[in-house]
Homo-oligomer: A and B are copies of this chain.
Amino acid sequence: MLTNEPISNLRTHLGYWLRVVSNAISQNFARKVSAEGVTVAEWVFLRMLFDAESIAPSQLAENMGMTRGAISKLSDRLFEKSLIEREENPDDKRAHTLALTNAGRALVPRLARLADENDAEFFDKLPHEERLRLERILKSIVSQRDLKNIPIG
């Protein structure tokens, strides 16, 4: 050996434990929303449209931390499921706007319940104080590293 430094174990990294928990939460949530016929990325997409009323695909790409190509394909799928509408902007024929259909708008509250349930399954058994600490620590990392988006994958 040219160095005395030990080869660190996977479990020595906080990032490892974060990934284990985060992926378990996401997979559990994916299972729940699949019962409503959507994916986690589709949930995020629909939830953002719910607030935005209408939004450009490129803006959504920015907000979701995904490429425009990915948003384009996500839109195709949600359109096929009749959950969103797409309109060409009359002032700028390059631009589109996306909006929820009535079906899409009706689905969001059900998905939001599933998200609440999912979070509760993982965190409700923590003492309230611990939940606050966890939230504070995570948000401090987000602001320290200036993390803006929701990278899905």
* B-binding residues in A (CB < 8 A): 3, 5, 7-10, 13-27, 29, 44, 47-48, 50-51, 108-109, 112-113, 115-116, 118-119, 122-123, 125-126, 130-131, 133-135, 137-142, 144-145, 147, 149-153
Contacts and interface: CB of A to CB of B under 8 A. Distances in A.
Contacts of A147: 20-21, 24
A107 to B, nearest CB: 11
Nearest to A22: B22
Contacts of A26: 15, 19
Nearest to A8: B112
Contacts of A108: 7
A7 B50 contact: yes
Copies in the complex: 2
Chain A contact surface mostly: helix
Contacts of A149: 20
A125 B112 contact: no
Contact of A119 (B5, B15, B23, B153): B15
A110 to B, nearest CB: 10
A51 B29 CA distance: 33
Nearest to A111: B7
